[in-house]
Structure 1
Amino acid sequence: MLRSLTPTQPLPSLHRLYSMTQHQRFTTALLHPRYWLTWSGLGLLWLLVQLPYPLIAIIGRGAGRTSRRFLARREQIARRNIALCFPQLSAQKREELISENFASLGMALLETGMAWFWSEKRLRRWFSVDGLQNLADAQHNNRGVLVIGVHFMSLELGGRIMGICKPMMAVYRRHNSPLLEWAQTKGRMRSNKGMIDRRHLKEMVNVLKQGEAVWFAPDQDYGPKGSCFAPFFAVPNAATTNGTYVLSRLSHAAMLTITMVRKTGNKGYQLVIEPELLDYPASDEVAAATWMNKIIEREIMRAPEQYLWVHRRFKTRPGGSASLYI
């Protein structure tokens, strides 16, 4: 698919690309009884996020810590990931990190409700931005910008807040539930331009060439296809997507990181936009993956307790290697 993309190929209109997600229309099929439980959950989530934010934070953190009793497998994954990435931490420090990570997991659910249901006016009361000029500088002369993100627990809310500051495109994976796909699309489109399926690299390149900012998160294990192995924290061979490498070579877009973390003391959120990333090793995919993983590590260390450690980051292993999760 990517080989067919040439510099002389006409670019599709942004209107057609946005229509991939912008027109996820509500249909009466979503009122079928099979979705009633999901509707009830969405209604409860809407009610909860009408509470004052400090109370939302208390409920979210408490629910997250309680969830450890029912998410034993996810706790094991988080424990293993943290042990692999931070072997220097004491047992006590690891336990504290896991506890805070599950508190963050509980917050993530309510932050999803905030992202989908809060007004822009209410959201603006609870976040600050550092480095917005860096994004403007990177987009100078209508240059496309590949925004490098990481999977913090507050990711859904971070996307909404990024859109308030500067509407952009985002790469995502469609939800298996049609109702939740409709709900998340409606919520995300409140402040952004559109979303692109993560499998559609050609569309990502096209919109970057048209000067758009596109959010892309290369920090997860997407399997062996389209990946190479590079160091990540203390793990020498972590499967790392080559998506960033391909997008950079085909679009010649600028690259920078945007990260949102929670402030301490239930004081809201801080969105950090770093200056354009320079000296990207675009001639070698392994060197590029190694370089990018260092950037991702830097962003994670802003608030490691808020990162998605419950994902099996190291599930793909070099040929013949034993699983790290046994």
Structure 2
Amino acid sequence: MKKKYRKLPRNTDYSAYRHPRWWPTWILIGVMWCFAQLPIRFQWWLGKVAGLLALQMAGSRRRITETNICLCFPELTADQQAALVRNAFIANGIGLLELGIAWFRDPAKLTSITEVHGLEHFEEALSHGNGVLLLGGHYSTLDLGGSLVTQYIHADVMQRDHNNPLMNAVMTRARERRYGTVHGARDLRGLFRSLRKNHAVWYATDQDYGRKDIVFAPFFGIPAGTITATSRIAERSGCRVVPFSHFRRDDKPGYDIYFHPALRDFPSGNDLEDATRINSVLEQEIRRAPDQYLWMHRRFKTRPDPHDPGFYTRK
């Protein structure tokens, strides 16, 4: 998939996608739009079905998820770990259906079933005038949660492009309707411009970006390659770093958004200490709803010893 689209331009003008090669993607987008119009309870049911199908068919992603959960929750029995794997696929299946809501529906219509906790922490951090870095994570409510957040605050976002240019165009245009500015994942100049304007910027550090500019900080007790850019950004801009998260409710359709007090004495001048704090905050949030995290990602791919065969090597 990546090779197929690697050399194609990242154009957000829909007129660039009239060629028949894009028709299958247009059909998929149309299906997503149709699903987005359905009642949320029905969408959640469809998402559950999609997640269970993926559990059976996505062999490599299932193995990655099983490995991550085994590493991060050793206190659970084998049956409990298997149940968490199953629930993680269900949660991410629902999240896939929620993409359509985030992209094609007005999030204002969901505020009646959304509760925001700790908004005063965000407002206090923003009052200092140097911008706010919203320290997020890759939860299954990623796009919808972000869309809902913008109903309560003004925010910009850092995004990684979708591999498919047409899907990337739809995603980017949808986010441009919700957020103030959409920055590319490597657009640090744009990030600093937003912070200088005293904007909030959604930012996540919880994926494995390779061996460059990282320290190995514990994440669920496992040394995980963690980027040091968060400390550099806070040091250079003077921004406040505010942890936040968003989760789907278990008992009934609805969502919760959490803002926490800005990290104190951050950065500390010690990259490992800062990365450890960030991972600890993220871990605390994940434990609210562990099934709603993106366990399908190879979080521990980069090991402290480059000669280590790694956790994801098939035996």
Instruction: Name the TM-score, length of structure 1 as normaliser.
Output: 0.89
Give matches, 1:6-45, under 5 Å.
25-45=12-32
Partner of 1:312: 298
What's the secondary structure of 1:48's corresponding residue? helix
1:77 alignment partner AA: I
Distance 1:43 1:206 in 2: 36
- Give 4+ residue runs of structure 1 displaced > 3 Å after superposition: none
Distance 2:14 2:144 in 1: 26
Distance 2:104 2:267 in 1: 41
C-alpha displacement of 1:267: 2.0
1:55 pairs with one of 42, 49, 52: 42
Distance 2:141 2:226 in 1: 22
1:103 alignment partner AA: I
1:283 alignment partner AA: G
Does residue 1:226 correspond to 2:213, yes or no?
Answer: yes
2:288 alignment partner AA: R
C-alpha displacement of 1:121: 3.5
2:277 pairs with one of 279, 283, 291: 291
Distance 1:56 1:41 in 2: 16
* Of 133-142 and 250-259, the range deviating more from structure 2: 133-142
Partner of 2:118: 131
Percent of aligned pairs with the same residue? 36
Give matches, 1:164-243, under 5 Å.
164-235=151-222, 237-243=223-229
Give matches, 1:241-320, under 5 Å.
241-318=227-304, 319-320=306-307
User: Structure 1 residues 120, 87: CA separation in 2 closer, same or farther (over 3 Å shift)?
Assistant: closer
Distance 2:302 2:148 in 1: 33
The number of aligned residues is 303
What's the secondary structure of 1:171's corresponding residue? strand
C-alpha displacement of 1:238: 0.9
Distance 1:25 1:325 in 2: 36
- Aligned residues: CA RMSD: 1.5
Distance 1:135 1:275 in 2: 7
Contact 2:12 2:170 in 1 (8 A): no
Partner of 2:102: 115
Contact 1:146 1:253 in 2 (8 A): yes
Partner of 1:5: none
C-alpha displacement of 1:45: 0.9
C-alpha displacement of 1:321: 2.1
What's the secondary structure of 2:74's corresponding residue? coil
C-alpha displacement of 1:131: 1.5
Partner of 1:17: none
C-alpha displacement of 1:141: 4.2
Distance 1:238 1:132 in 2: 30
Contact 1:77 1:309 in 2 (8 A): yes
What's the secondary structure of 1:259's corresponding residue? strand
Structure 1: gaps spanning 5 or more residues: 1-22
Contact 2:244 2:257 in 1 (8 A): yes
2:154 alignment partner AA: P
C-alpha displacement of 1:206: 2.8
Partner of 2:133: 146
